[in-house]
């Protein structure tokens, strides 16, 4: 007989899991959420928040903010009449502040669990079988029974074969966020979101950064105009990109790492660096889940197979977030968590994958939602483009952030907005207007008719909508 019984058990306390647990509790279910990863908790207890809060989204943004301020002080303050001399960086203090932010947020989730009467169970969750009134899951040393189970076990960094990650010399995202000094030279394998953000942090603080990317094109998932502009700006800032490479032997020692690779022209090259960050994607966490014990179906990439409503092949078992198909984004996992909880309660839970925004928190920031221009061309969709540079925006100039642009794509016949792509200051905040426009099937005319406060960066979005009809007012 199980020790504890619940209506819903969530396996994993990351963004998808903890949000699913809270929403299910709000809807009247008795809910438990189990978590086993201690991360860097001083007491060694499992910490809620998953990769995102502990070693991903939140700590990386804290470091990006600090490093941005440092670069501003070193290179931009003088131009605004602020004289402070040459700034210096206290890396341990920077990391300690980052840790404090993480601790505050992770402990905040505990408070939310208490407020919503969610039971936190410390321990690794693994399916045992089906019996009684539901599913039996072993959590730590005890067996818990739940009528319904939500698998929200997230993902982990993909490592290269034959390259040991010690998170001191060779690092994944976790080590990249915990360095205690600025490396003179830093190599990064992978020019994706993590590679660009971590490269930005340490480049700003003084590292000579070289990024090796196996794909031939830079940011192929972004709109081609945005990717081209980003590569130009990041290169100008001092980051060195080698695209279309083939990674060879990697030899790491106490003093650094030697990387052999073949460049895009087929020539053998070598790179010596003090430290290496490996950011070549992430893989789903299904190890130790006990999927084979209960017949939980996985796909060919090791993800839990689900339908359009996140149902697995097992009755009463659901899966959300990084452990299922779709973009590995915290906000996507949260939306799925809410949708599953509401579907359980008989409501119409739904996630529209076509309106999930993507963001890269570099400087300038990059954000987009909807279709890219290359996708519309490939689909044979007739479209029109409205494109406005931030150089024409008074607020951007006043902030000293004139780089980048807003690009809007609308259907040539119906005028419906199909995609919004932004590279520039605060793009992560501005993109929400694009998301809202897509959700409500707005036309560019609708957005063009909405009054935007002046002077604001959002006026560039307004002007891009006007430009779709070739009637921009300030460009």
3-state secondary structure of 25: helix
**Alpha carbon distance 374, 130 (integer Å):** 48
CA quadruple 45, 49, 51, 53: dihedral, nearest 10: -110
The answer to whether 185 and 206 are in contact (CB under 8 A) is no
Could you tell me the two tokens for 434?
């694009």
**Alpha carbon distance 214, 223 (integer Å):** 19
| All residues at 6 or more sequence positions from 77 whose CB lies less than 8 Å from its CB, including other chains | 83, 84
Say whether 454 is catalytic.
yes
**Alpha carbon distance 35, 47 (integer Å):** 7
Catalytic residue among 75, 124, 350, 454: 454
The answer to whether 244 and 269 are in contact (CB under 8 A) is no
What letter does residue 159 receive in the DSSP assignment? P
| All residues at 6 or more sequence positions from 179 whose CB lies less than 8 Å from its CB, including other chains | 91, 95, 171, 202, 275
**CB-side neighbour CA atoms (13 Å) of 359:** 22
**Alpha carbon distance 37, 143 (integer Å):** 19
Could you tell me the two tokens for 189?
């394998």
The answer to whether 5 and 91 are in contact (CB under 8 A) is no
For 148, other C-beta atoms within 10 Å of its C-beta total 21
The 10 Å CB-count burial string (b at 16+, else e) for 220-233 is eebbbbbbebbbeb
* Active centre residues (catalytic): 454
């Amino acid at each position: 007989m199980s020790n504890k019984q619940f209506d819903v058990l969530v396996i994993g306390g990351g963004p998808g899991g903890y949000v699913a647990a809270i929403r299910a509790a709000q809807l009247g279910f008795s809910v438990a959420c189990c978590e086993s990863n201690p991360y860097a908790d001083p007491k060694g207890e499992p910490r809620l928040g998953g990769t995102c809060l502990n070693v991903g989204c939140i700590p990386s943004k804290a470091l990006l903010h600090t490093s941005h301020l440092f670069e501003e002080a070193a290179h931009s303050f003088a131009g605004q009449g602020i004289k402070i001399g040459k700034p210096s960086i206290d890396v341990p203090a920077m990391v300690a502040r980052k840790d404090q932010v993480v601790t505050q947020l992770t402990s905040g989730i505990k408070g939310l669990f208490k407020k919503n009467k969610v039971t936190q169970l410390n321990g690794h969750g693994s399916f045992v079988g089906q019996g009684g009134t539901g599913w039996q899951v072993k959590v730590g040393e005890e067996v818990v029974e739940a009528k319904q189970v939500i698998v929200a076990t997230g993902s982990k960094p993909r490592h290269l074969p034959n390259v040991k990650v010690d998170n001191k010399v060779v690092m994944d995202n976790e080590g990249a966020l915990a360095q205690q000094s600025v490396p003179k030279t830093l190599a990064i394998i992978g020019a994706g979101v993590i590679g660009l953000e971590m490269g930005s942090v340490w480049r700003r603080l003084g590292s000579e950064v070289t990024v090796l990317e196996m794909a031939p094109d830079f940011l192929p998932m972004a709109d081609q105009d945005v990717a081209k502009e980003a590569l130009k700006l990041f290169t100008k800032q001092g980051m060195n990109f080698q695209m279309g490479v083939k990674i060879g032997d990697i030899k790491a020692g106490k003093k650094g790492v030697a990387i052999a690779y073949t460049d895009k022209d087929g020539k053998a090259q070598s790179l010596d660096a003090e430290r290496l960050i490996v950011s070549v994607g992430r893989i789903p966490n299904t190890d130790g889940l006990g999927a084979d014990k209960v017949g939980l179906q996985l796909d060919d990439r090791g993800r839990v197979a689900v339908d359009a409503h996140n149902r697995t092949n097992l009755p009463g078992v659901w899966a959300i977030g990084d452990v299922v198909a779709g973009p590995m984004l915290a906000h996507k996992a949260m939306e799925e968590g809410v949708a599953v909880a509401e579907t359980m309660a008989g409501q119409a839970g739904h996630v529209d994958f076509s309106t999930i925004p993507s963001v890269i928190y570099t400087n300038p920031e990059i954000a987009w939602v909807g279709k890219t221009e290359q996708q519309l061309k490939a689909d044979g969709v007739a479209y029109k483009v409205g494109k406005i540079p931030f150089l024409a925006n008074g607020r951007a100039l006043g902030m000293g952030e004139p780089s980048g642009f807003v690009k809007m794509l609308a259907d040539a016949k119906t005028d419906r907005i199909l995609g919004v792509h932004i590279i520039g200051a605060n793009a992560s905040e501005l993109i929400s207007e694009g998301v809202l426009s897509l959700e409500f099937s707005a036309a560019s005319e609708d957005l063009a008719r909405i009054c935007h406060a002046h002077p604001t960066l959002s006026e560039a979005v307004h002007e891009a909508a006007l430009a779709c009809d070739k009637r921009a007012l300030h460009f």
